[in-house]
């Protein structure tokens, strides 16, 4: 005789249920304050409208890492800050959340800086945009002409 489930009894499962964090938690959005989530959406919309390269995951990591820097206001940027974000802070922020820094961090940071410049969002005392881009060009692998990752061409050698 089969047992009929009652409204208070869950249906039997053939395999145990796995809990999965919501998408926002997996991307780290739940750790960003509401005002910073709004900035994130503004940057994404601006980048799509302008046809700029942006990775939503990398943007979340950059914004979260910048927010975690307590030695300066969020809107004050220096080339030293950009370099530290690129090589230390973003990686640490991602690692603390069980992930790795996205490969597109440098180009996304370039787009974020362009957005901040276009909307006059840099605080007084911030470096000029050209100086902020230097770490992205010299060690981040961003092509300054296209604002995209550099592609390295391999020279072909022919042997006679």
44-92 pLDDT, tens digit per residue, is 999 999 999 999 999 999 999 999 998 889 999 999 999 999 999 999 9
Predicted confidence band at 160 (pLDDT cuts at 50, 70, 90)?
very low
Task: Answer for the pair 54, 111: CB distance below 8 angstroms, yes or no.
Answer: yes
How far apart, in whole angstroms, are the C-alpha atoms of residue 98 and residue 116? 29
| The dihedral sign for the CA sequence 62, 68, 70, 75 | positive
Residue 146's pLDDT is: 62
Q: Is the pLDDT of residue 37 over 50?
A: yes
Which of 148, 116, 120, 119 is closest to 132 using CA atoms? Answer: 116
């Amino acid at each position: 005789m089969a047992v009929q489930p009652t409204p208070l009894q869950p249906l039997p499962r053939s395999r145990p249920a796995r809990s999965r964090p919501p998408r926002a938690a997996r991307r780290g959005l739940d750790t960003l304050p509401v005002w910073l989530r709004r900035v994130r959406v503004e940057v994404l919309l601006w980048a799509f409208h302008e046809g700029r390269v942006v990775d939503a995951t990398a943007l979340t990591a950059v914004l979260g890492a910048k927010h975690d820097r307590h030695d300066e206001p969020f809107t004050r940027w220096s080339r030293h800050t950009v370099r530290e974000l690129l090589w230390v802070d973003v990686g640490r922020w991602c690692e603390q959340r069980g992930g790795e820094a996205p490969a597109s961090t440098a180009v996304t940071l370039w787009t974020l800086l362009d957005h901040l410049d276009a909307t006059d969002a840099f605080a007084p005392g911030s470096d000029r945009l050209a100086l902020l881009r230097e770490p992205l060009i010299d060690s981040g692998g961003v092509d300054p002409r296209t604002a995209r990752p550099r592609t390295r061409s391999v020279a072909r050698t022919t042997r006679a």
